[in-house]
Chains A and B, each alone.
Chain A
Amino acid sequence: MGPTLRAGGYFSGLFKYGSLIAASLVALLPIVVIVMASLKTTNEFLLGGPLDPPGNWLNFDNFVIAFNAGMLMAFANTTFILVISVFGSVLIGSMAAYALSRFEFRLKRVVVFLFLLAALVPAVTAQVATFVLINGLGLYNTRWAAIVLYTSTDIIAIYIFLQFMRGIPRSLDEAAILEGASHFTVYRRVVFPLLKPAIATVVIIKGVAIYNDFYIPFLYMKSKDLGVVATSLFKFKGPFDTRWEVIAAGVVIAIVPTLVVFLALQRYIYSGFTRGATK
């Protein structure tokens, strides 16, 4: 799959692999070092250098401390927000895509334009005004603030579904309608099940974005029991300031789910981002 261009010469081969290996080392080094730090005892950490490996590779003490310091609750919050937001995104995105791809109606161009314009605006720019709005709606310091924001800034999901819907032949719709199905039934029984690959893509892209997001939880969910993974890890910096090995453990805890998901769903992740970007 894909072109295989022949690279000529031994020297250029060396250069090629050299660059790739160099890039890989640069990518891996910070991660490896942090993992090592998370496994060190306080003494090892203070006495040795950052490049020294830990004495006991199974020293999980720091992880226990990190979990108790709030990472466990952070995962609970993040999971709650993530599941609901992704579910909402998939539902709303597919409904919007269904309406836009299967129907002609007077305001259609306006609606499409609204979505296109909104896609150009990066989320960070309007946060000040959004904050006032969220506050006014009484959603400040609730998990719903995040959920509502994640499901409403949902353009990518709609585009992915729209593109995918072009591949679903209308004849299927029409066959169902001829058998007496209402539009809603067509959506539910015919279209939605066929959207599965697109749903997988949206789940991954949205999931990663929400899991990693710091900005929105930081601005809208400041109270102590509403920490998500990103903000809880951030709070490690104060109390554990001189105990980098615990901070490192927190970092590793935050990273492990990402690694697991990545290894399991590699192919979907690549195709998801490539497809999501070609809007």
Chain B
Amino acid sequence: MKEASAFTVQVQQVAAASARPPRSRRRSLTPFLFLLVPVGLLLVFTYVPLLNMLSYSVVKWDGLSKTREFLGLDNYIQIFTRPELFGVFGVSLYYFAGAFIQMGLALYLATILSFNTRFRNLFKGIIFFPYLLNGVAIAFMFLYVLKPDGVLDSLLNGLGIGQAGDRPLWLGDRSLVNVSLAGVSIWRYMGLNFVLFLGAIQSIPSETLEAGEMDGASRWQQFRYLIVPGIRPVIGLSFILAISGALAVFEIPYIMLFGANGSATFVIQTVDMAFKFHKFGLASAMAVVLLVIILTVTWVQRRIAPDDPVDLT
């Protein structure tokens, strides 16, 4: 169809080149048509809920009835004053610490893998693979590993470490449970940081590093002054991911323990508050607080370490 009239159209267009307006009117409609669905979905399913959430956070509502009771800032006050509610912030701290350890490990492993190492792809694959796994699968795996007389206990017995039969309750002990769960989180997510760092290190021009080596820089010096500045955007990104990840923890503690025994995180509590206790207002207020925290952290990070590429010359 088009081929037949192509020539005539071409002629027409060349002739009409001077008469621009009709074309530009048609041109200006296209992007809107293309963006109709994406932006529409974005508005409806991201922004509408966000705005609604703000409005829900100042009422008392069970999610079902037609009536909502206006409470002002009452929900927010509750969040910051009732200990069982802001105890979840304490839980987040474990995951923050875990996030830092995670990044440190990832950076370390990525760096040593970038040195002249054999079996590079094998190690890379093995260390990355946990990241791809289903959260439920991981949760069950670690229930199996961490339960009393489970894998970890048997391993320690086999290695002769500590007292057999007198093992700490990795999941049962309130003071240990979050350490264990943060450990599971590290196991799960380190692979992604690792691959990101690896990719970033590999994109540092080799001349830079070879120059450093020829100047007699030790490996530590190479690391600190050449590698780290070269991958700063990725470090910044990983930092944001780690922090917002630590705040948004849900799957592992929920599937393993339903958030019991002091392992409840912020999101678990929000979900329980809404769907178990039918307090949509309070849950919404919690979600707003979480959102504000995450946005603040992101903003701070962008200020401290902006994502511009670094020139190493």
Contacts and interface: CB of A to CB of B under 8 A. Distances in A.
Interface of A: 1-8, 12, 16-17, 19-20, 23-24, 26-31, 33-34, 37, 49-51, 92-93, 95-96, 98-100, 102-103, 105, 108, 111, 114-115, 118, 120-122, 124-133, 148-149, 151-154, 158, 178-181, 183-185, 187, 208, 211-212, 214-215, 219, 229-231, 233-234, 236-237, 244, 247-248, 250-251, 254-255, 258-259, 262, 266, 269-270, 273-274, 277-278
A132 B149 CA distance: 44
Nearest to A26: B187
A274 B137 contact: no
12 contacts: A3-B201, A27-B126, A51-B154, A99-B30, A99-B35, A118-B46, A122-B248, A133-B52, A187-B34, A248-B144, A262-B125, A273-B192
Interface residues of B, number: 106
B126 A28 contact: yes
B155 A51 contact: yes
B184 to A, nearest CB: 9
A128 B151 contact: no
B163 interface: no
A7 B140 contact: no
Nearest to A22: B109
Determine the main DSSP class of B at the interface with A. helix
Given A4-B115, A99-B34, A230-B135, A251 B248 contact: no
A115 B41 CA distance: 11
A230 B192 CA distance: 21
Contact of B284 (A19, A129, A251): A129
A125 B248 contact: yes
Contact of A5 (B128, B137, B155, B213): B213
B56 A128 contact: yes
Interface in B279-300: 280, 283-284, 287, 290-291, 294-295, 298
Given A5-B222, A152-B46, A277-B241, 5 more contacts: A126-B50, A127-B271, A128-B280, A251-B137, A258-B134
B218 to A, nearest CB: 9
Contacts of B49: 126, 129-130, 132-133
B13 interface: yes
A23 B109 contact: yes
What 5 A-B pairs are tightest by C-beta distance, nearest first? Answer: A2-B202, A152-B41, A129-B49, A180-B9, A99-B34
Interface string B174-209: 000000000000010001100110010111101001
Contacts of B63: 131-132
Given A49-B154, A128-B56, A129-B53, A122 B41 contact: no
Pick from A6, A126, A179, A277 the residue with the most CB of B within 10 Å: A126
A193 B300 CA distance: 40
B21 interface: no
B127 A23 contact: yes
Interface in B128-172: 128-130, 132-138, 140-142, 144-145, 149-151, 154-155, 158
B107 interface: no
B39 interface: yes
